[in-house]
Structure 1
Amino acid sequence: MRLRFVSLMLIAFLVPALLLADGGAIKGKVTDQETGKPLAGANVFLKGTRYGSSTDVDGNYTIQKLPAGSYTLVVSYVGYARYEKEVTFEDSAVMTLDVALNRTELISEQVVVTASKSAEKITEAPATIDLITARNIDEHPSANIGELLAYQKGVDYIRTGVLGTGMNIRGFNSAFNAKNLQMNDNRLSTLVATSLPLGALSTTVKEDIDRIEVILGPNAALYGPNAHNGLINTITKDPRTSEGTTFVAGGGNHNTFSGRFRHAKVVNETFRYKASFEFDRGQEFNYVDSVYVGGVAFKEFGLDRDFDSVRGEASFYFSPNPTSDFIITSGGSNSNNLGVTNAGRNQIKDWRIFFLQARYVSPHFFGQVYHTWSITDDTYALNQRTQNYLTFIAAGFPEEEAERRSLHEAWFGSSPDQGIALNREANFRDHSRRWNAEAQYNNTWAGFHVTGGFQWQRDIANSKGTFLLDQAGAIELD
């Protein structure tokens, strides 16, 4: 018993001594002011220095090896008011400071990451940003999150279907718009071959969205030339702040049904994971777009107003230390619906989107690599297919043959025996792929904030010769 007591006394004296050997230290716990629950993943740092940490699953933090002097301690957490306090260290001092944060919906206190690719108050960001918060998303009854963008200043919104939305920033909106860049967790959320936003083909489930940041204006320096009008970045939840299981089911007009599931688990201080899944089905608005042939209007041929889609994502988080995360995420979707373009509607058939992403995030460094690929073989343009079909019917072909050949050909002639079939491709095929890699480092020295980084992207656009000029093979761009 005496030996155990002596050992405990030695530990009690040695641990502080080890901390003090290399300078002072500050430690404490960060909690929710209202509930008292610990806040895991809160950023704790000394302003204007390289010293910082983040809280563990119990809300605890420790910053060590601090030289004597006066500092400003900052604690920030998404959805909470920023906390700042002046602290002074003498040689080898150890300070304990617990912090209780207040929830806030004040825009001036919101923390964003899109404008500079690092956490900062929205009022300090070097660009105008609109923010759709987790509360906005939770209170929105529809599974179509795109509807929330209709309420943001500077965003033009157009409804293209029960699930379809079109939007643009800084004017010149249309239903088929690629003037603004859309991203999910800093990953391009666009089709490889056309750079159009994924929209209803997205892999992200509503219940997994933490917030949506909208940059109003050009941001090509950080995100490339496709961000010349603006940027919409959807950021998903961290299991540390959203642990648990959620299941939602609902229905409504147009025979719609939506079932959504999300599960997140913190296994220990170094490992956590989450998974989400969604199934939607229904029937599009009862609207038929006219196709004009020879000045006569015809109904779209091959129109299917029934839609359905499945989507899902899974993420695994590994934290080698309290301030760094290594994240692997994969997801996919399969969609059947109607897509609106400036030249008529497309019948989307089994269009599949997949991605695999690896990220490393720390207070001063961000790096990621990801691969995105797209597969569809049966999608077709309703306008072109209708025109093709009518040429075969006018020449006296059987309906079954006209239907089959209308995907790829049009008939020029007065009868099956007098005329010629020419290629008029209505079918869309897409087997495109994209690889991306990027890294960014930021730090503050002597009051100057320095940021540097690089980006690399390789696109392999492959329509199998259907809608791109790739008859000789896939188009590769670096």
Structure 2
Amino acid sequence: MKKFFALITLLLSFYASAQDSGSIKGLTLDENNVPVSGATVHIESLNKGVVSGFDGAYIIENVPAGTYNVVFSYLGYETITKSVSVEAGQTVEVNVVLAESTSMLSQVVVTANKKPQKMTDVPATVNVITSKDIKEHVGFNVGELAAREKGVDFVRTGVLGTGINIRGFNSAFNSKNLQVTDDRLSTLIATGLPLGTFATVTTDDIEQVEILLGPNGTLYGPNAHNGLISTRTKNPFTSEGTTLALGGGNQNVFTARARHAQVVSDKFAFKFHFERSQGEDFEYVDSVYVGTTAYKELELDRRFDTQKYGAGLYFRPTSSSELIGYYGHSNNNNLAVTNAGRNQIKDWSIDVAQLKYISKHFFANVNYTWSNTDDTYAINQRTQNYVSFINNGFSEEEALARSYTEQWFPTGPDTGIVLPRGAVFKDASQRFNSELQYNNSWGNFDLTVGAQYQLDMADSKGTYLLDEGGIDIGQTGFYAQTEYSIPSSGWGFLLGARLDKHDLYGSNFIPKAAITKALGEGQLRVTYGKGIAVPSILNLKGNLFGGLVLGNGEGFTLSDGNKVSPLDVESINTYEIGYKGKIANKLFIDANAYYNQSENFISPLRVITDAANGVVVTHVGDKPIDEVVPGSNGAVVLTYQNFGKVDTYGFDVGLNYYFSDAFRATLNYSYFGRDLDKNDPANDGNLDGQVLETELPVNTPANKLALGLHYSKNKFYGSIFGRWVQDYDFFSGIYTAAETQDLNGDGVDDVIENARNGRSWNYGPLGGFTVDANVGYYITDELSVGASVTNLFNAEVREFVASPVIETLFSVELKYQVNFFKKKSAIN
């Protein structure tokens, strides 16, 4: 009987509570009256919310009687806040129409804290390339839009090749900026280089690109060092329809793309995409020096092509959870710049498979990457090999055949020996990644905790790695991040930390902290973050030219008893202050100033032996060198070591002025500087007793300025964008692009412009001024035509080493977009 009365009492209490509360329901639609599925509807003061369903409908139940600010948000759309009064026992209907984001204050980003947030709530500098920007972009390379963002060093190596760097220390082999796509790494396995055009996603399937400036290693781990580039693709539940695109331009460029997304039911949706792009690079030949004689690159093929496709299946077990399966493939042929010459990429394919689960409090992600090539080769090395045979009387046929693997070293007039100097790069590497995350909120307190695991399985088939039987290297990371806000005063606090454990370079602790203050229609922030750049598998396990160059993952023992320590991570500590918001009617600003402390750079290749005095390598790690490299006596070994410490600083300012909703102007300016202690022997990269600028080159312009005008209304859109990059010196591997100068103060010019410098030709500093433009028109609601011009006035600008002057590029594109299965909802 007591249990019965207890049950009755409990039911009565629930009933009384229900009588004191009400509900909020409605529809979330876009400007075309189409349901927006997956929009977040949130009552801030109660920290209570839901996600809209397949038909755009939502309902929040058990809302205590009162008046609340209800926030409606979705990625790529403006955030709307409505004041809603709830009466006890009643349901109030609130329908909203979400418009595509035009103001930076209303943009929603995901990358910074791995959850949707308004731009002004994010304690970091984030550049956003929106779905509207991408839709109005003509061409297949969305990376070109990064040239319009503040704080970003954008370079072009040819018609196809583009690159992005953030906050200094760029190189021709740069892996310090992590790139991810839909929460999976977008990097090559053995080198850590970004996939770039190797990525499996296509332009028409990209929802948004977010570029974070500064380290973000706490949530993303190693190599989110100077910055992070995150690409998010479209969800078929909210992007149903078919897109067909055909384009072409000079340099024989042709692209054909297709995408289809369809909602099958309120539980299932799918998408697939395809792209074929091809063309021919500029007519440029990089000089290959053998001694002081220059030769043309051997059998240079300037044609490029890329083919990619992918498909995704989306399942919603509940209205607030989603299970996603994705597979993508790309195949590539093109030219690629490295520190030691250009590579001829031959049928290099990337395959990815991913399974991801997302719900209100849990996130789980597993993905697998395959990388395959058998015929890619280093053009510079192959050319040197070829010349060695031709100059010693071998036939053309034999010289060409043997140039892939060997070099001839003459020992007499008619004698010589064959040296193993392989130019071919084979790759059959694989990578497994997984992540599990939990997040929750209690009042104004948010918690995110998670763990990540990565297993790199590198396999060069013995062509450039010590990988007999393959190389398996694992790393595990655990992270936690807390956020606390005080809405009444506008203060916010963030504290995060990560512990990483790597099989070769041990454990690393990565902290992060931020304090924010709402000021007017904006946010002031002070942040601290640490980042680490890890040695690549090539740095750790490289084996080039028959053991002449070895990676330093385990250290070396020399015959005189000295030891060479294994490579450690490069680290950076960044202190930043910034403000983003509205400073006047129609004028918006996003500005930051930062100070970086970097140390433990990975050195250029160093000779660690002294054969003339009998100092040779005896062991690699704990193994005799002749067991690691059969036949090697360790007399000459080059490897990498950690060295150096340098402080850098700078600021970025982005201004947007809206003349109207359709017309705006953009101005971006960035400054970068550094302090290098030339009296610190730790900064002596080549151990010659002098610290030179070339040993820790920032390879970044001191000043960058860009101005753009954007117009989009009704059926017409267009923009024009001018970009000025101050001339700057660039030193990377065998390459020099710099003005004439005396580096060591001995009165003799060590660098000479427009002349051979070492093993490359120095064309002078990089940088210059270019103007890009694009225009488009919607012939019908479904059919549009667009055109774009890069380097409109054909300015003579060279943007990177081993690369041509970038001439004018123009392209035209016809795009057809239709939804045969459109389901509309009407607001009553």
Give the TM-score taking structure 1 as reference length.
Answer: 0.91
Cα deviation for residue 92 of structure 1 reads 4.2
Cα deviation for residue 364 of structure 1 reads 2.6
Q: Does the CA-based 8 Å contact 2:411-2:417 persist in structure 1?
A: no
Give the whole-Å Cα distance in 2 for the aligned partners of 1:341 and 1:26.
Answer: 58
Q: Does the CA-based 8 Å contact 1:166-1:174 persist in structure 2?
A: no
Tell me: CA distance 1:316–1:240, structure 2 relative to 1, closer, same or farther (3 Å). Answer: same
- Deviation larger for 109-118 or 176-185: 176-185
Cα deviation for residue 103 of structure 1 reads 3.7
Tell me: CA distance 1:395–1:274, structure 2 relative to 1, closer, same or farther (3 Å). Answer: same
Give the whole-Å Cα distance in 2 for the aligned partners of 1:99 and 1:416.
Answer: 86
Q: Work out whether 1:423 is the aligned partner of 2:397.
A: no
Aligned to 1:206: 203
TM-align CA RMSD: 2.1
Q: Work out whether 1:294 is the aligned partner of 2:301.
A: no
Q: Secondary structure of 1:227's partner? A: coil
Cα deviation for residue 133 of structure 1 reads 0.8
Q: Secondary structure of 1:321's partner? A: coil
Identity within the alignment, %: 54
Q: What pairs up with 1:137-148 in 2 under 5 angstroms?
A: 137-148=134-145
Q: What pairs up with 1:305-316 in 2 under 5 angstroms?
A: 305-316=302-313
Q: Secondary structure of 1:63's partner? A: strand
Give the whole-Å Cα distance in 2 for the aligned partners of 1:221 and 1:259.
Answer: 40
Cα deviation for residue 45 of structure 1 reads 2.2
Q: Does the CA-based 8 Å contact 2:100-2:132 persist in structure 1?
A: no
Q: What pairs up with 1:229-308 in 2 under 5 angstroms?
A: 229-308=226-305
Q: Does the CA-based 8 Å contact 2:21-2:87 persist in structure 1?
A: no
Q: Work out whether 1:398 is the aligned partner of 2:395.
A: yes
Q: Does the CA-based 8 Å contact 1:112-1:120 persist in structure 2?
A: yes
CA deviations on 1:239-284 (whole Å, 9 max, x unpaired) are: 1222111111111111111111100101111100110000011111
Q: Does the CA-based 8 Å contact 1:411-1:422 persist in structure 2?
A: yes
Tell me: CA distance 1:193–1:236, structure 2 relative to 1, closer, same or farther (3 Å). Answer: same
Q: Does the CA-based 8 Å contact 1:331-1:355 persist in structure 2?
A: yes
Give the whole-Å Cα distance in 2 for the aligned partners of 1:443 and 1:97.
Answer: 26
Q: 2:166 aligns with which of 141, 157, 169?
A: 169
Tell me: CA distance 1:426–1:442, structure 2 relative to 1, closer, same or farther (3 Å). Answer: same
Q: 1:28 aligns with which of 6, 22, 26?
A: 26
Q: Secondary structure of 1:146's partner? A: helix
Give the whole-Å Cα distance in 1 for the aligned partners of 2:93 and 2:73.
Answer: 18
Q: 2:306 is aligned with what amino acid?
A: S
Aligned to 2:215: 218
Give the whole-Å Cα distance in 2 for the aligned partners of 1:247 and 1:235.
Answer: 20
CA deviations on 1:316-347 (whole Å, 9 max, x unpaired) are: 10011111111001101010110111211000
Q: Secondary structure of 2:223's partner? A: helix
Give the whole-Å Cα distance in 1 for the aligned partners of 2:299 and 2:35.
Answer: 56
Give the whole-Å Cα distance in 1 for the aligned partners of 2:19 and 2:335.
Answer: 67
For structure 2, which runs of at least 5 residues remain unmatched after alignment?
1-14, 476-828
CA deviations on 1:70-93 (whole Å, 9 max, x unpaired) are: 543221123332222344545544
Q: Does the CA-based 8 Å contact 2:76-2:107 persist in structure 1?
A: yes
Give the TM-score taking structure 2 as reference length.
Answer: 0.54
Q: Secondary structure of 2:381's partner? A: helix
Q: 1:460 is aligned with what amino acid?
A: M
Q: 2:112 aligns with which of 108, 111, 115?
A: 115
Tell me: CA distance 1:410–1:363, structure 2 relative to 1, closer, same or farther (3 Å). Answer: same
Cα deviation for residue 394 of structure 1 reads 1.5
When the two structures are aligned, how many residues end up with a matched partner? Answer: 460
Q: Work out whether 1:51 is the aligned partner of 2:43.
A: no
CA deviations on 1:271-313 (whole Å, 9 max, x unpaired) are: 0011000001111111000000011000011311111110111
Tell me: CA distance 1:174–1:163, structure 2 relative to 1, closer, same or farther (3 Å). Answer: same
Q: Secondary structure of 1:449's partner? A: strand
Aligned to 1:180: 177
Tell me: CA distance 1:446–1:57, structure 2 relative to 1, closer, same or farther (3 Å). Answer: closer
Q: 1:193 aligns with which of 190, 194, 213?
A: 190
Give the whole-Å Cα distance in 2 for the aligned partners of 1:235 and 1:440.
Answer: 19
Cα deviation for residue 179 of structure 1 reads 1.3
Cα deviation for residue 446 of structure 1 reads 2.9
Q: Work out whether 1:325 is the aligned partner of 2:322.
A: yes
Q: Does the CA-based 8 Å contact 1:395-1:415 persist in structure 2?
A: no
**Greater per-residue helix proportion:** 1
Q: Does the CA-based 8 Å contact 1:203-1:331 persist in structure 2?
A: yes
CA deviations on 1:350-402 (whole Å, 9 max, x unpaired) are: 10100101111123322211011100110000000001111111222221221
Cα deviation for residue 115 of structure 1 reads 0.1
Give the whole-Å Cα distance in 2 for the aligned partners of 1:415 and 1:332.
Answer: 51
Q: Does the CA-based 8 Å contact 1:160-1:175 persist in structure 2?
A: no
Q: Work out whether 1:375 is the aligned partner of 2:372.
A: yes
Q: Secondary structure of 1:225's partner? A: coil
Give the whole-Å Cα distance in 2 for the aligned partners of 1:272 and 1:97.
Answer: 27
Cα deviation for residue 475 of structure 1 reads 4.1
Q: Work out whether 1:386 is the aligned partner of 2:383.
A: yes
- Deviation larger for 299-308 or 416-425: 416-425
Give the whole-Å Cα distance in 2 for the aligned partners of 1:385 and 1:167.
Answer: 28
Give the whole-Å Cα distance in 2 for the aligned partners of 1:192 and 1:426.
Answer: 19
Q: Work out whether 1:355 is the aligned partner of 2:346.
A: no
For structure 1, which runs of at least 5 residues remain unmatched after alignment?
1-16
Give the whole-Å Cα distance in 1 for the aligned partners of 2:358 and 2:90.
Answer: 30
Q: Secondary structure of 1:320's partner? A: coil
Tell me: CA distance 1:31–1:42, structure 2 relative to 1, closer, same or farther (3 Å). Answer: same
Q: 1:159 aligns with which of 156, 167, 172?
A: 156
Q: Secondary structure of 1:328's partner? A: strand
Q: Which has the higher contact order (CA 8 A, sep 6+)?
A: 2
Give the whole-Å Cα distance in 2 for the aligned partners of 1:145 and 1:415.
Answer: 55
Cα deviation for residue 236 of structure 1 reads 0.7
Q: Does the CA-based 8 Å contact 1:25-1:66 persist in structure 2?
A: yes
Q: Does the CA-based 8 Å contact 1:279-1:309 persist in structure 2?
A: yes
Q: Does the CA-based 8 Å contact 1:167-1:177 persist in structure 2?
A: no
Q: Does the CA-based 8 Å contact 2:276-2:308 persist in structure 1?
A: yes
Cα deviation for residue 69 of structure 1 reads 5.5
